[in-house]
């Protein structure tokens, strides 16, 4: 018990100071959760086995109860994983809102750069010649744009204000749920208020990327955030 409490303290103290937005920061504390869960499972299995043992004439009843508990412990995670396969990171349990809230809590880990390739394929189909494409991964966007046959597309960083001032009507902005930062929050929020995406690329059933093509109104509105 002291070992578990010490482990949690050792994780919680620096995490409180440093903070974080990525579920990967929880990796160091995850073994403690699993150990605690194992203790709880063992306690439940032993308690139920003792209750059954009061009525059973041999130990077979106790063994059966333990096997049932172990089967339930294994079955429910397997069912949960199968329900979101192959996008396992999007699983959200009922306490978190279920499938309707998938991707809402830790989008940087749940999406990251998922569906950027498909996004660039869609942009390659719709974008005007020599269009600028603003995203948080300009290098990757350029790579997938070239694969899609659009070497003319010019990739810009969404967090680079000087580069964003170069945007014109007909240019493209990629809003990826896994790439929302303080540096682009004002721009993206204003864009979503004044414009509708020309395409939405989903990861399974969950929207992952929204593609915007700037018109006069949206360009004027978002330019205000760059002043």
Tens of pLDDT, residue by residue over 92-121, are: 988 888 888 888 888 888 898 999 999 999
- Rounded Cα gap, residues 174 and 141, in angstroms: 10
Res. 22: pLDDT tops 70: no
Residues 74-91, mean pLDDT to the nearest whole number: 90
Measure the CA–CA gap between 197 and 195, rounded to whole angstroms: 7
> Integer distance in angstroms from the first to the last C-alpha of the chain?
56
- pTM (two decimals): 0.78
Note the pLDDT of residue 100: 87
- Helix axis angle for 60-84 and 30-53, nearest 10°, is 140
Contact 141, 118 (CB under 8 A): no
Mean pLDDT of all residues in 186-212: 93
Question: CA 112, CA 194: separation in Å to the nearest integer?
Answer: 25
Cβ neighbours of 79 (radius 10 Å): 9
Cα–Cα distances (Å) from 112 to 10, 21, 136, 208, 226, in that order, read 28, 13, 11, 9, 25
Of 122, 155, 154, the closest CA to residue 138 belongs to 155
What sections of 128-205 are H helices per DSSP?
138-147, 161-164, 182-194
Q: What is the pLDDT of residue 198?
A: 96
DSSP output for 210-222: EEEE--HHHHHHH
CA distance 24 to 189: 26
DSSP line for 91-126: ---GGGTGGGGTTSS-HHHHTTTTTHHHHHHHHHHH
Say which residue the tokens 């721009």 belong to: 187
- Cβ neighbors of 108 (< 8 A, separation 6 or more) are 21, 22, 178, 179, 180
Does the pLDDT value for residue 172 go beyond 90?
yes
* pLDDT tens figures, 30-59: 888 888 889 899 999 988 888 877 776 667
pLDDT score recorded for residue 57: 64
Coil, strand or helix at 209: strand
Q: How far apart are CA 76 and CA 56, in angstroms?
A: 28
What pLDDT does residue 27 have?
74
Judged by DSSP in three states, 203 sits in: strand
């Amino acid at each position: 018990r002291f070992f578990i409490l010490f482990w949690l303290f050792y994780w919680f103290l620096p995490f409180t100071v440093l903070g974080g937005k990525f579920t990967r920061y929880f990796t160091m504390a995850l073994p403690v959760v699993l150990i605690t869960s194992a203790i709880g499972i063992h306690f439940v299995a032993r308690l139920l086995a003792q209750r059954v043992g009061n009525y059973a004439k041999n130990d077979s009843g106790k063994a059966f109860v333990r096997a049932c508990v172990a089967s339930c412990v294994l079955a429910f995670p397997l069912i949960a994983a199968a329900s979101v396969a192959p996008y396992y990171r999007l699983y959200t349990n009922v306490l978190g809102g279920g499938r309707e809230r998938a991707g809402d809590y830790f989008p940087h880990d749940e999406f990251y750069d998922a569906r950027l390739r498909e996004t660039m394929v869609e942009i390659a189909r719709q974008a005007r010649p020599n269009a600028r494409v603003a995203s948080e991964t300009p290098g990757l966007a350029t790579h997938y744009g070239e694969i899609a046959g659009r070497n003319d597309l010019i990739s810009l960083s969404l967090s680079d204000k000087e580069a964003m001032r170069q945007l014109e009507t007909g240019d493209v902005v990629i809003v990826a749920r896994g790439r929302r930062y303080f540096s682009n929050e004002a721009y993206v929020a204003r864009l979503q208020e004044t414009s509708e995406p020309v395409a939405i690329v989903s990861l399974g059933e969950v929207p992952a990327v929204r593609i915007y093509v700037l018109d006069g109104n949206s360009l004027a509105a978002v330019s205000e955030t760059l002043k």
